Amino acid sequence: MDVRVPEVPASYDDYRRRVREFVEAHKPELRMKEKAGLRVPDDPEDVAKLRAWVRALNDAGFASPAHSETKLDPYQARVLNEELGRAGVSVVLGNPLVGGAIKLFGTDQQKAFYLPRIASGEHIWTQLFSEPAAGSDLASLQTRGRLDGDGYVVDGQKVWSTWAQFSDYGYLLARTENKPGPAGITAFILDMKSPGVTTRPLREITGTTDFNEVFLDKVRIPVENVIGQPGQGWAVTTASLAQERGGVGSRGAEDSIAGLIRIARATKRAGRPAIEDGAVRQAIARFAARSRIQRALGYRVATKAAAKELGPADAPLTKIWFSELNLEINEYALSLQGPNGALAEGDPLAWQDGRFQDAFLYARAWTIAGGSNEIMRNLIAERGLGLPREARG
């Protein structure tokens, strides 16, 4: 398929200027510093500022098109995504995947109530999928819900739940039907303030608490909070995860490569700037070439999605390519710094206050998020190429 990425016409320059001016005037000053990946503030005041920022974007008609009612043509959506991306501040708080689930499978009442509140920042959501013994193998999850009158009673444990400590609602999967594997799973909307919900933040190797574990002890969920139908949770999940994998894969590496060049110019090898070393130049050039391929893969997925021709291997392929390239770039950034590569945030000798050190520590998460790369390779082989299924244990 030919990739179609036409240039944004000059007639959209005024729209770009208005978005950029709005961002410059309203971008919040946060205590947390901008870092790689999907990060969560430690300070509740930062969360309040982010809610106000998203509300202002929504009121001005600049909310994320994925959840707002704002009608944008493809060029406006592209300009908006580019300018909001440059801001480096979240524009959808919490896990955005529930928006797609509600749009595709939700009732009219669910769509009318939840989607505008996600777009305005009033509601923050967390994703309650993974469990201690069910991560990439999500079909083996053990959290259970039993129908009791006009609701379900749910017991279980979830982990790696981003934003859970500040979330108003959770996008929950639980086993409700007496059927093995995916057929027994139902998707729910969970009010995180329900009795029996306990959230415990997890301090990661990065020093931040971006993830949480969530305990569910006889939590009641009304039947009207089912997304889709009972037992349809796997279909809801599959649609959501395809969106997540495509989002991970669409990220570019240009900024990181520019950072490599700056490090290579500032550091020495054998008494000369590292950028003059042919091996360093070759390594950076290889990363640049792979970054161009990454961008092309992202454009190809976007083109196929617009034509409703997206295949089962497309999003996993871009996800693998980005996550492994990102990890290798950050590893190389530390090696370029020599002994100083061991320094971290807060050390006066750390390059850019440990930017690449933090990115390196976080980078491994991208190889797992949305399904591990090993699982993605199985999807490409089995569903994309039609190869025999891997033997199941």
Arithmetic mean of pLDDT over the chain = 89
Residues 372-387: tens digit of each pLDDT: 899 899 989 999 999 9
Q: What is the pLDDT of residue 309?
A: 82
Q: CA–CA separation, 87 vs 215, rounded Å?
A: 35
Q: CATH number of the domain at 167, please.
A: 2.40.110.10
Flag whether 33 is in a domain: yes
Whether 84 and 52 map to the same domain: the answer is: yes
Query: CB–CB of 128/171 below 8 Å?
Result: yes
Flag whether 218 is in a domain: yes
Q: CATH number of the domain at 255, please.
A: 1.20.140.10
Residues 74-123: tens digit of each pLDDT: 788 888 888 888 888 888 788 888 888 998 899 999 999 999 999 899 99
What is the span of the domain harbouring residue 276?
250-384
Q: What is the pLDDT of residue 146?
A: 96
Whether 132 and 22 map to the same domain: the answer is: no
Catalytic residue among 83, 131, 213, 244: 244
Q: What is the pLDDT of residue 199?
A: 97
Whether 39 and 75 map to the same domain: the answer is: yes
Whether 217 and 293 map to the same domain: the answer is: no
pTM of the model: 0.82
Flag whether 117 is in a domain: no
Strand (E) or helix (H) holding 152: strand 151-159
Flag whether 146 is in a domain: yes
Query: CB–CB of 231/186 below 8 Å?
Result: yes
Of the residues 195, 230, 265, the one at which a domain ends: 230
Query: CB–CB of 60/68 below 8 Å?
Result: no
Whether 25 and 130 map to the same domain: the answer is: no
Whether 175 and 84 map to the same domain: the answer is: no
Whether 254 and 134 map to the same domain: the answer is: no
Query: CB–CB of 171/98 below 8 Å?
Result: yes
Flag whether 167 is in a domain: yes
Query: CB–CB of 99/118 below 8 Å?
Result: yes
Whether 261 and 365 map to the same domain: the answer is: yes
DSSP, res 215: E
Whether 299 and 195 map to the same domain: the answer is: no
Flag whether 243 is in a domain: no
At 339, list the tokens: 């002994």
Q: Within the chain, how many helices (H) and strands (E) appear?
A: 11, 10
- For residue 288, what are the CA distances in angstroms to 140, 294, 295, 326? 40, 10, 11, 12
Whether 194 and 71 map to the same domain: the answer is: no
Residues 233-251: tens digit of each pLDDT: 999 988 776 555 445 545 5
Q: CA–CA separation, 273 vs 264, rounded Å?
A: 7
Whether 74 and 144 map to the same domain: the answer is: no
- Which residue has 């060029």 as its token pair? 75
Flag whether 111 is in a domain: no
Residues 114-139: tens digit of each pLDDT: 999 998 999 999 999 999 988 777 88
Is 244 noted as a catalytic residue in this protein?
yes
Q: CA–CA separation, 44 vs 377, rounded Å?
A: 39
Flag whether 235 is in a domain: no
- Does the pLDDT of residue 28 top 70, yes or no? yes
Backbone angles phi, psi at 320, to 5 degrees: -60, -50
- Which residue has 């501040």 as its token pair? 89
Q: What's the domain count of the chain?
A: 3
Whether 255 and 349 map to the same domain: the answer is: yes
- Does the pLDDT of residue 20 top 60, yes or no? yes
Mean pLDDT check: name the lowest of 70-84, 144-158, 208-222: 70-84
